Chains A and B, each alone.
Chain A
Amino acid sequence: MHQLRTRGRATAPYGLGLAVVLVIPALLKVIPGVAPGYVLYLVSLALIYAVVAIGLGILIGHTGQISLGHAGFFAIGAYASALLTLRLGLPFVVAVLVAGSVSAAIGFLLGLPALRLSGPYLAVATLGFGLAIPQLVVWQGSWTGGSSGLHGLPLASLPLGAFTIVFRTDQDYYYLAAAVLIVLTIFARNVVTSHTGRAFVAIRDSEIAARAMGVDLVRYKTTAFALSALYAGIAGALYAHLLHGISPEDFTVLLSVDFLTMIVLGGLGSIGGALSGALLLTFLQNALTRLPVVHDFKNLYIVVLGVILILTIVFFPQGLAGIARSWRLRRATRTLDRPAGAGQIVELGERSGVR
């Protein structure tokens, strides 16, 4: 009974999220003064970033391995998918899956140095990866389009038996992005709440304990890297087809920092946190660009964003997930018959009642 209740409480936000996803397009049509197309484009972008954030959250939040180079995987996914559809004429679905797989394979390889590096050292190594990818794209300009990028990507489409769904409008693409996010959210939740997820957290908590309990660090660290790169790669592919065009400028280190900001803002070690952090940061960034320019200071909004981030981390170090958790806890303790922690101070001899 107790377990049922906690599970119900944990999945409730997801049901709510799904309802919101379905309601948003209709809602936008009745709100006067908004351009539904643009807002849906922006929401799609946020959903795509949320896919990256969830993958990165598994790597950093659950497994405790830092990455400052996830824009690199995002770029790999975007370019792989763009090239496959443009140059080889592969179907969109195939291109997205291949893009995710290529990114995952490279993530696996980047996971290998992570076996020897940790903390700031790993941060610098992954940063190097993130810096290198756009440069490689520019260098290989003959087939990647160089610094001017790739443009005119075909519309996303999904073959279903005899029919083919073509995602023409912003609303169509919004539903596609939402569907991918939902599937990948469920997958991520399943992973972190199971055997594999426990091994990840065991590594984060104590590598020594994890090893002694039989967790193969090589296997699980590379798995975490590959999994988070898969998410970033799929998201990159969706991003390319959302914009119908990409260039190396889309994938700077600043984007990697944004991804990190999303999961910290949302709360490390929480799937729902990563998701909501991505949505919040994307909307916040967009909203703040609308601030009036004061005294010719055009980038004032970035300073405002910085202040908001500092305040959030100082007052809510566990992010949005932490706020939600303490709120739930307060509600739960009000209804709990027995305060948590009672009955702990019993003597060891009495407690270990082995028969």
Chain B
Amino acid sequence: MTGPVLEITDLTIRFGGLVAVDGLDLRVNAGEIVGLIGPNGAGKTTVFNCISRFYQPDRGTVHFKGRDITRSGSHEIIRFGIARTFQNVELCRSMTALGNLLVGQHVAMRSGVIRDGLRLPGVGADEARATQRADEMLELLGLTGDRDHVVSTLPFGLQKLVELGRALVSDPALLLLDEPTAGADKQEIQGLADLIRRMRDRFDLSVLVVEHDMSFVMGLCDRLYVLDFGRRIAEGAPADVRNDSAVIEAYLGEPELEVTEV
């Protein structure tokens, strides 16, 4: 594959008078782990919501593998190969971990209410195949013991892991992770960075991660974009970004600054 997996050009979105994202250019190359960082309210999650088509940008384009997805429906993009997680976990909370990983394979399965209701040939085989795939993913993430637990009864850290599994099981080319470290302790954060890297290698992923925790992104990402008030103020390798004067200024007074010294 030539060219970037994800290419965002001149992305701009306003909410009322507020310009949440202002002329952002961003690209993710194949196999890269790219971080999108910035202070609270910088517009990071808004960028995610534009890529996953929950928000319609006022200006600019989003291309995925050369295809313009700026006007696609939010339910279409997983079919193209973009899967995401959410800042505060958006699981199907009444379902088991297994159920959630089956929902993750929604677009990979044939559908039809009459086909399902009559249990036409193939329905059972489809279910069995999807269940097996889900079980493999659960095992990979060490969640086999929680397979049949309703996810709302699981601790938050495990819920995040189930959500990651649900995204991965859709076999994406690009994984969007929105604050994967939220609610995790220091030790878990280290495990998470290893996990994401191993998943990238195993599934040939490109990853775009929105994060708050600076030490986490510094250790994980190949390249960083720094956003402040919806504008890109820096871009480059973690080491360069760390010493960028604009970045230091943007983070001044923010508690995250201390973390960058780790």
Interface size bracket, B side:
35 or more
Residues of A within 8 A of B121 (CB): none
CB–CB A349/B188 < 8 A? yes
Considering the complex of A and B, which 8 residue pairs feature the smallest CB-CB distances, nearest first?
A: A349-B191, A351-B142, A214-B107, A205-B92, A194-B116, A209-B90, A348-B188, A214-B78
- Of B106, B110, B146, B184, chain A has the most CB atoms within 10 Å of the CB of B106
Chain B residues packing against A (C-beta within 8 Å): 52, 54, 73-76, 78-79, 83-84, 86, 90-95, 99, 102-104, 106-107, 109-113, 116-119, 123, 126-127, 140-143, 145-146, 149, 153-155, 157-158, 161, 166, 170, 184, 187-188, 190-192, 194-195, 198-199, 202
Partner of A351, one of B78, B103, B106, B161: B161
Q: Mark A4-20, 1 if CB is under 8 A from B, else 0.
A: 00000000000000000
Q: With contacts A348-B161, A354-B140 known, is A191 near B198, CB below 8 A?
A: no
Q: Is A196 an interface residue (CB 8 A)?
A: yes
A-B contact pairs, 28 of them (CB 8 A): A190-B117, A191-B113, A191-B117, A194-B123, A196-B116, A201-B92, A201-B94, A202-B103, A205-B94, A205-B95, A209-B90, A209-B92, A210-B75, A210-B103, A211-B54, A213-B104, A213-B107, A213-B170, A214-B170, A215-B106, A341-B153, A343-B145, A344-B146, A347-B188, A347-B191, A349-B188, A352-B195, A354-B202
Contact of B161 among A188, A202, A223, A352 (CB under 8 A): A352
Cα distance, A344 to B144, chains bound together (Å):
11
Chain A facing B: main interface SS? helix
Q: Would you call A201 and B202 a contact (CB within 8 A)?
A: no
In the complex the two chains form, is A214's CB within 8 Å of B106's CB?
Answer: yes
Question: Contact: B111 with A212, CB < 8 Å?
Answer: no
| Pair A205/B111 contact, Cβ less than 8 Å | no
CB-CB under 8 A from B170, the residues of chain A are 213-214
- A: which residues have CB within 8 A of B? 187-188, 190-191, 194-199, 201-202, 204-206, 208-217, 223, 227, 269, 340-341, 343-345, 347-354
- In the complex, given contacts A211-B54, A341-B149, what are 14 additional A-B residue pairs having Cβ atoms less than 8 angstroms apart? A190-B118, A191-B116, A198-B99, A201-B94, A209-B86, A212-B52, A212-B74, A213-B166, A214-B75, A214-B76, A347-B191, A348-B191, A352-B142, A352-B161
Bound-state CA distance A190–B114 (Å) is 10
CB distance from A14 to the nearest CB of B (A): 15
Q: How far is the CA of A340 from the CA of B187 in the complex (A)?
A: 26
Q: Which residue on chain B has the smallest CB distance to residue A207?
A: B90
The one of A198, A201, A344 in contact with B154, judged by C-beta atoms closer than 8 angstroms, is A344
- Give the distance to chain B from A225, nearest Cβ to Cβ, in Å: 12
Contacting pair B157 A205 (CB below 8 A): no
Contact A351 B149, beta carbon cutoff 8 Å: no
Q: Distance (Å) between the CB of A21 and the closest chain B CB? A: 21
A215 touches B91 (CB 8 A): no
Enumerate chain A residues within 8 angstroms of B93, measured Cβ to Cβ. 205-206
Question: Which residues of chain A have C-beta atoms less than 8 A from B118's C-beta?
Answer: 187, 190
